Chains A and B, each alone.
Chain A
Amino acid sequence: MDNSHFFVTGDPMIYGADVSIILVSLAIIIYLTYFKKWGWLWREWITTVDHKKIGIMYLLSSLLMLFRGGVDAVLMRIQLAVPNSHFLASEHYNEIFTTHGTIMILFMAMPFMFALFNMVVPLQIGARDVAYPFLNAVSFWLFFLGAMLLNISFVIGGSPNAGWLSYAPLSENDFSPGPGQNFWIWGIQISGIGSLMTGINFVVTILKMRTPTMRLRDMPLFSWSVLASSIAILGVFPIFTATLAMLTIDRLLGGHFFTMTGGGNPMMWVNLIWMWGHPEVYIVVLPAFGVFSEIVATFSKKRIFGYASMVFSMIAISIVSYYTWVHHFFTMGAGANVNIVFAICTMIIAIPTGVKVFNWLFTMYRGRIRITQPMLWFMAFVPCFLVGGATGVMLAAAPADYQYHNSYFLIAHFHQVLIGGVVFGYLAGMYYWFPKIFGIKLNERLGKWAFWTWQIGFYVCFMPQYALGFMGMTRRMYTYNSTMGWDMGWAPLNMISTVGAFLMGIGFIFQVWQILYSIKHGERDVTGDAWDGRTLEWSIPSPPPVYNFAILPVVKGRDAWWYQKQEMQKGSYQKEAVKYEPIHMPNNSGIPFLMAVCFFIAGFGFTFEWWWMGIAGLIGVFITLFARSFQYNTDHFISVEEIERTENALRNHGSIHRTAN
Chain B
Amino acid sequence: MSNQEHTASIKAYVTGFILSIVLTVIPLVLVLNHMMGKAALTVSILLAAVLQFVVQLFFFMHIRDGEGPRYNVMALILGIIFVVTIVAGAIWIMSFNSQVQ
Contacts and interface: CB of A to CB of B under 8 A. Distances in A.
Do A and B share a direct contact in the complex (Cβ within 8 angstroms)?
yes
Interface string B84-96: 0110011011101
Interface residues of B, number: 15
A271 interface: yes
Given A207-B71, A333-B100, A239 B94 contact: no
B86 A239 contact: yes
A235 B82 contact: yes
Contacts of A265: 94, 97
A262 interface: no
Contacts of B92: 338
A323 B94 contact: no
B82 A268 contact: no
Contact of A333 (B69, B89, B96): B96
Contacts of B93: 271, 326, 334, 338
Interface centre among B71, B89, B90 (most CB of A within 10 A): B89
Lowest 3 A-B CB distances belong to which pairs? A334-B96, A334-B93, A235-B82
Contacts of B90: 268, 271-272, 275
Interface in A314-360: 322-323, 326, 333-335, 338
Interface string B66-87: 0001010001001000100110
Given A235-B82, A333-B100, 11 more contacts: A207-B69, A234-B75, A265-B94, A265-B97, A271-B90, A271-B93, A272-B90, A322-B85, A334-B93, A334-B94, A335-B96
A338 B89 CA distance: 10
A146 B75 CA distance: 28
A119 B96 CA distance: 47
Nearest to A342: B93
B94 A271 contact: yes
A515 interface: no
A601 interface: no
A231 interface: yes
8 contacts: A265-B97, A271-B90, A275-B86, A275-B90, A322-B85, A323-B85, A326-B93, A338-B96
Contacts of B97: 265, 267
A231 B82 CA distance: 11
Contacts of B85: 322-323
Contacts of A322: 82, 85
Interface in A189-239: 207, 231, 234-235, 239
A323 B96 CA distance: 19
Contacts of A239: 86
A235 B78 contact: yes
Interface of B: 69, 71, 75, 78, 82, 85-86, 89-90, 92-94, 96-97, 100
A271 B91 CA distance: 10
A323 B86 CA distance: 10
Contacts of B69: 207
For the residues of B in contact with A, the DSSP-based class is helix
Contacts of B86: 239, 275
Contacts of B94: 265, 267-268, 271, 334
Nearest to A200: B75
A334 B92 CA distance: 9
Interface string A253-290: 00000000000010110011001000000000000000
A182 to B, nearest CB: 25
A162 to B, nearest CB: 21
B93 to A, nearest CB: 5
B72 to A, nearest CB: 11
B71 to A, nearest CB: 6
Contact of B78 (A231, A268, A323): A231
A280 to B, nearest CB: 15
Interface string A367-390: 000000000000000000000000
Contacts of A207: 69, 71
Contacts of A326: 93
Interface string A271-312: 110010000000000000000000000000000000000000
A107 B94 CA distance: 31
A275 B87 CA distance: 11
A499 B89 CA distance: 44
A235 B80 CA distance: 10
Contacts of A334: 93-94, 96
A265 B71 CA distance: 38
Contacts of A335: 96
B39 to A, nearest CB: 21
Most buried by A among B71, B75, B93, B100: B93
A490 to B, nearest CB: 35
Contacts of B89: 275
A117 B89 CA distance: 32
Contacts of B71: 207
Contacts of B78: 231, 235
A272 to B, nearest CB: 7
A275 B89 CA distance: 10
A268 B90 CA distance: 8
A197 to B, nearest CB: 15
Contacts of B100: 333
A335 B97 CA distance: 10
A51 B89 CA distance: 38
Residue in A239, A326, A334 with the greatest tally of chain B CB atoms within 10 Å: A334
A323 B82 CA distance: 10
A378 B69 CA distance: 36
Nearest to A335: B96
A272 B96 CA distance: 16
Contacts of A268: 90, 94
Contacts of A272: 90
A265 B90 CA distance: 12
A76 B89 CA distance: 37
A467 B94 CA distance: 34
A246 B72 CA distance: 29
A234 B85 CA distance: 14
Contacts of A333: 96, 100
